[in-house]
Amino acid sequence: MSDTRRLQVLRAIVEDYVQTREPVGSRALVERHDLEVSPATIRNDMAHLEEEGLIAAPHTSAGRIPTDLGYRRFVDKITEVRPLSAAERRAMDTLVESADDHDSMLEQTVRLLAMLTNQVAVIQHPQRSTATIRHIDVVSMSPHKALTIVILSSGKVEQRMVTLADAIGDDSLHRLGQVLSTELFNRRTSTLPLPVDALISRVEPVLRPTMAVIAQAVETILESGRVDRIIMAGTANLARSGRDLGPSIGPILEALEEQVVLLRLLTEMEQDRRGLSIRIGHETSHDSLVETAVVAAEYGTHAGAEGAKLGVVGPTRMDYGSTMSAVRAMARYLSRILSEG
């Protein structure tokens, strides 16, 4: 009773099903793959696999399809992470050229990932906790409006408009910015609250109410940096693989738009030894995602530090091999670019 053949059968079932999107039977299996045994033998193996819960038959007289568990074993034990094709690598290299600012970098990345995988791609904004304050600027916009701008070591630029009680001149505002810059330089964004009183005492009395307002704004900016965000691309691909997802693409889109769900999922997911995190079907523990799988990888961190993830969301019936390779390559590529500068 060769145990290895069973795995071979499972592999064949997954591959065929992924390709044809139809339940696969014993006859077709021996024909398409060079298993040197008869259909009857395969049937026995399939019966075993079914007992183990790795495959299931939608109807008595239909072939078998992999269960979530079946995909899981396939992913864990069988499939190899495929190397990237030349074309894919080339596509990635064009990315760096259009790398303007930090945000659009992420945006380009997620688009490319969506294109490469033909699926919905998502990327998490990097956690900001390790970033430090690089510079703070206060610019007058109108007599009673000022824009507070915080520049972080990660290259991210945050802004917030504040309303001032008094009309303050451009110069004075600018000075406030300088004070804030000096006082808070290199401070971790995660260490809150700010020493607002100390900051206020650094400026002459007439500016103090204004300083209070602006320090408050800075604090709000830093505060808001804690809630993560997600960028998404390729939702149209969802529709394309619509047949795989039943008529239920509505709920899926909703779940994706509801960034909270995805964020929690992404942060919960733990990387395996290959540097990938995968959740299949019910493993997502979210009802509207039972027919989808999430493949993700961390980026931007050197071993250990808590990092943000990027990945794709697609039907459980997806080509795991190439998806996994694309996601991992993308994560590595982005990490490299980000660390380079």
User: Which spans of this chain sit near DNA (rule: CB under 7 A)?
Assistant: 1-2, 5, 23-28, 36-41, 43-44, 46-47, 50, 57, 59-64
Cβ-defined contacts of 2-6 (< 8 Å, 24+): 5/35, 5/37, 5/45, 6/45, 6/48, 6/49
Binders of a copy of itself in range 178-237 (CB under 8 A): 220, 224, 233-236
Q: Determine, following the binding rule CB under 8 A, whether residue 27 of this chain makes contact with a copy of itself.
A: no
Q: Site residues for a copy of itself, window 132-171 (CB under 8 A)?
A: 134-135, 137, 139-142, 144-145, 147, 149, 151, 153, 155, 157-161, 163
Among 21, 31, 250, 264, binds a copy of itself (CB under 8 A): 250
Q: Given the complex with DNA, which of 16 and 283 has the nearer CB atom?
A: 16
Nearer to DNA, 64 or 125 (CB): 64
Q: Is 253 in the site for a copy of itself (CB under 8 A)?
A: yes
Nearer to DNA, 46 or 211 (CB): 46
Residues 6+ apart with CB under 8 A from 111: 121, 233, 234
Q: What's the closest the beta carbon of residue 261 comes to a copy of itself, in angstroms?
A: 12
Question: Which of a copy of itself, DNA, none does residue 77 bind to, with CB < 5 to 8 Å depending on kind?
Answer: none
- Angle subtended at Cα 314 by Cα 312 and Cα 320, rounded to the nearest 5 degrees: 80
Kindly state the smallest distance separating residue 334's Cβ from a copy of itself, in Å.
Answer: 15
The identity of residue 163, as a single letter, is T
DSSP 8-class letter at 98: G
CB of 189 to a copy of itself, least distance (A): 15
Helix ranges, 143-281 (H): 170-184, 196-201, 208-224, 235-240, 249-257, 259-268
Query: Is-contact 279 294, C-beta < 8 A?
Result: yes
Distance between CA atoms of residues 298 and 306, nearest Å = 9
Task: Pick the piece of the chain touching a copy of itself (CB under 8 A) from 5-13, 74-82, 249-257, 299-307.
Answer: 249-257
Return the DSSP state at 2: -
Could you tell me if 115 and 105 are in contact, meaning their C-beta atoms sit under 8 angstroms apart?
no
Read off the DSSP letter of residue 232. E
| 83 cis-preceded (ω within 30 degrees of 0) | no
Q: Which of 100, 166, 268, 306 binds a copy of itself (CB under 8 A)?
A: 100
Structure tokens at 329: 């390559």
Q: How far apart are CB 67 and DNA at their closest, in Å?
A: 14
Identity of the residue, 149 or 294, whose beta carbon is nearer to a copy of itself in the bound complex: 149
Our CB check for DNA shows the closer of 47 and 305 to be 47
Residue type, 54: L
297 vs 325: CA distance, rounded Å: 10
Interface positions with a copy of itself (CB under 8 A): 99-102, 134-135, 137, 139-142, 144-145, 147, 149, 151, 153, 155, 157-161, 163, 220, 224, 233-236, 238-240, 242, 247, 249-250, 253-254, 256-257, 341
